[in-house]
Amino acid sequence: MKARVTNAIYAIVTFAVLLTAWELACDYFKVPAFYIPAPSRIAATLVVGAPLYLSHLGVTMYATIASFVIAMFLGIVFGTLVSEIRFFERTLQPVLIALQAMPRIALAPIIIVWFGFGPESKIALGAFTAFFPVFVNTAQGMRATDSEQIALMRSLKASGWQIFRMIKLPNAMPYLLAGANIAIIFAMLAVIVGEFLGANRGMGFLITTQSSQMDTAGVMATVFILSAIGVLFHYGLQFLRDRLLFWAARDEVAGSSVR
């Protein structure tokens, strides 16, 4: 707890120093507001436009959460199948690896054509993008199970389901939550990109509208909100991991190789 409080203080102080330096630099160098707005101007924009931001944020968060839930479900299912059944490893894994190598964001226009301009296309793009971190980490976590633990369970006449439930699944949980931490950010970014290309509501649509009006302060305010949401997602999942997996070492994670 003491370490967490200390880290939080460092983060807050660093953030405050950066904002102060930014404000003073804008004032000293007389930087035009349309070029780089001062933090005070961005804060004023946030306060004045709070209802507008909240309405658009709700649309983006709905698509983000929905795509994240779908990606988690499909990633866990396919990751388990590939790691547990040799047939699926031989047939599904090459296809999924090929899909992972595809520029998923570049497929956004095609997905919008398939699913339309409503939230369905954003959810599909977000789920497709967020699927791979969950899939890769689930499969890796299942395969990283200690063979001696499995041998011990088999010597005790444990069934395959018991080995999976009591050994492999708990072992994969640190990897799975590490993948989820990446997937939630990927999902939000993909949803925003989808809103850039075709939407009439959402934070991506709002950024596009503000940019066309040269409302730099509005764009920065929108970006600040999205950054804050991303931080909340990250630390929320980290908090969940610490509570559910208190027995796992902090370095027992995967996902650093996921792109």
Mean pLDDT of 209-228: 94
Using CA atoms, how far apart are residues 71 and 138, in angstroms rounded to an integer? Answer: 12
Using CA atoms, how far apart are residues 134 and 75, in angstroms rounded to an integer? Answer: 5
What pLDDT does residue 43 have? 95
The pTM is what? Answer: 0.88
Least confident range of 47-51, 53-57, 76-80, 150-154? 150-154
Indicate the pLDDT class of residue 254, thresholds 50, 70 and 90: very low
Using CA atoms, how far apart are residues 79 and 153, in angstroms rounded to an integer? Answer: 22
Secondary structure letter of residue 200 according to DSSP: S
State how far the alpha carbon of 254 is from the alpha carbons of 85, 100, 173, 176, 238, in Å.
21, 17, 10, 8, 14
Using CA atoms, how far apart are residues 221 and 226, in angstroms rounded to an integer? Answer: 9
Indicate the pLDDT class of residue 33, thresholds 50, 70 and 90: confident
Q: Report CA Rg, the chain.
A: 22
Helix 108-115 and helix 169-197, axial crossing angle in degrees, nearest 10: 80
Angle at 225 between CA 9 and CA 245, to 5 degrees: 55
State how far the alpha carbon of 248 is from the alpha carbons of 2, 16, 32, 140, 181, in Å.
20, 34, 51, 16, 16
Tokens 């031989």 belong to residue: 90
What pLDDT does residue 1 have? 66
Tens digits of residue pLDDT in 68-118: 999 999 999 999 999 988 898 889 888 888 888 888 778 888 998 899 889
Q: Name the region of 45 (left: φ>0; alpha: ψ -120 to 50; beta: rest).
A: alpha
